Chains A and B, each alone.
Chain A
Amino acid sequence: MSAATPVPAPGAVPQLHPQPGPGPCDGDERIARLIRRQGCQGDGLIEVLHQVQEIHGYLPKPALLQVARALRLPLSRVYGVASFYHLFRLQAPATHRCAVCLGTACFVRGGGRLAAGLQRRLGLALNQTRDDGAWALEQLSCIGACGQAPVLVLDGVLFSAPLVDQPKALDRWLTSLGLPAGVETR
């Protein structure tokens, strides 16, 4: 049980050692700017991370390092915050993202069956990304579109799913949305 895992070769991890630099806000100029705008305050960490994610689509480690140095925060604290919140991504996002709502209203109206259909179809578990980075299947807990339940959000566009009780018709509808079919289930 306690067999030591080998340490990966150096170079397999991003270069993170802080280098002597001109000031606290070096590195990516866009990030430096937004941190200066924010006032280099540690309590603004979450706001800063939101904006960094807007720039990159996710939170790359070098950017986290830059944020930590500029805000003068411990690295582990920045990582702890970045990994705590669901909306922060530490990996590059998939090309296409399909998010299914599993809020209670959607659940009562067949959101679970919709999620199962999507899992079968994309060959992914919830909150999983395909190895080729083309598709990610995510779960949401209530986006407030309870009137349209059950809903899914495909690349940012909300759809109300009809026919969740009829697997074949549901499948045809998903095809019409452009979801790939017949992906091997892992």
Chain B
Amino acid sequence: MSVITLQVDGRDVAVPAGSTLLQAIRAAGLSVPTLCDLEGLEPVGACRLCLVELEGSQRLLPACASEASEGQVIRTDTAQLQGYRRMAVELFFAEGNHVCAFCVANGTCELQDVAVAVGMDHSRFPYQYPQRAVDASHPRFSLDHNRCILCTRCVRVCDQIEGAHVWDVAERGSDCRIVAGLDQHWGEVDACTSCGKCVDVCPTGALYAKEDTTAEKHPHPERAGQLRRAREQRQWTP
């Protein structure tokens, strides 16, 4: 296995060839905020939180979707990046209806964690208060579109791991929303195996088990990676 070396925030790090910048950053003992990325799912580079600076380049790179290469010099935490990340989180909060106080994911929400990490306690942009629905038609789970950040983890886990492809993204732009089947109520979509992987990997309180109330959600985002490893490498995590 060939190895490449690069520098992240002044630290030298060696990673296997083919690693992403995000893996390199983590191997260096550092971190960048992420929302759409999840181990086990193909990266989409949509949330733009993991953007990093590459020396010698004007373009910012999404760490989750960029392959590390030899000799790169990466910076993950400049004032510029901090400013952009904070603004991105503000945009997330302003475009949805996120009310942590009575959210099922309060305390385990990745959006909340990211907000804390980037120091965002309010949005400078006006809240849009969009009219969004809640789909409680599934016998075991609910989808609250108000809390959805369109990370598409549910879409990808259902397609790439479960293979059912119940979910997809409908419409476009700010009208985008997660959709089940032919824009059906979730509970009516025969393709759904009720496996619950979408609920496991949802970073917010958008997808949750019906028995959970405020601050009771127990997400399992690690399962996507575990299942992928088991399937492809025959390695289990007991």
Contact = CB atoms under 8 A, between A and B. Distances in A.
B185 A2 contact: no
B227 to A, nearest CB: 19
A78 B144 CA distance: 23
Contacts of A16: 181-182, 184, 188
Given A5-B134, A79-B179, A74 B184 contact: no
Interface in B193-221: none
Residue with the highest number of chain B CB atoms closer than 10 Å, among A13, A68, A75, A77: A75
B229 to A, nearest CB: 25
A96 B147 CA distance: 38
B166 A1 contact: no
B137 interface: yes
Contacts of A79: 168, 170, 179, 181-183
A10 to B, nearest CB: 8
Number of contact residues on A: which range applies? Answer: 20 to 34
Contacts of A18: 190
A68 B187 CA distance: 19
B171 interface: yes
Nearest to B137: A7
Contact of A1 (B146, B159, B179): B146
Contacts of A78: 182
Contacts of B165: 74, 76-77
A76 B102 contact: no
A64 interface: yes
Given A4-B134, A4-B142, A76-B181, A17 B190 contact: yes
B133 interface: yes
A64 B191 CA distance: 16
B93 to A, nearest CB: 13
Interface of B: 97, 99, 102-103, 133-137, 142, 144, 146-147, 159, 164-172, 179-185, 187-191
Interface of A: 1-5, 7-8, 13, 16-18, 61, 64-65, 68, 74-80, 83-84
Given A16-B181, A64-B182, A76-B165, 12 more contacts: A1-B99, A2-B144, A4-B142, A5-B134, A7-B136, A8-B185, A74-B165, A75-B181, A75-B182, A79-B170, A80-B168, A83-B179
22 contacts: A1-B99, A2-B144, A2-B146, A2-B147, A13-B188, A16-B184, A18-B190, A64-B182, A65-B182, A74-B159, A74-B164, A74-B166, A74-B168, A76-B165, A76-B180, A76-B182, A77-B168, A78-B182, A79-B170, A80-B170, A83-B171, A83-B183
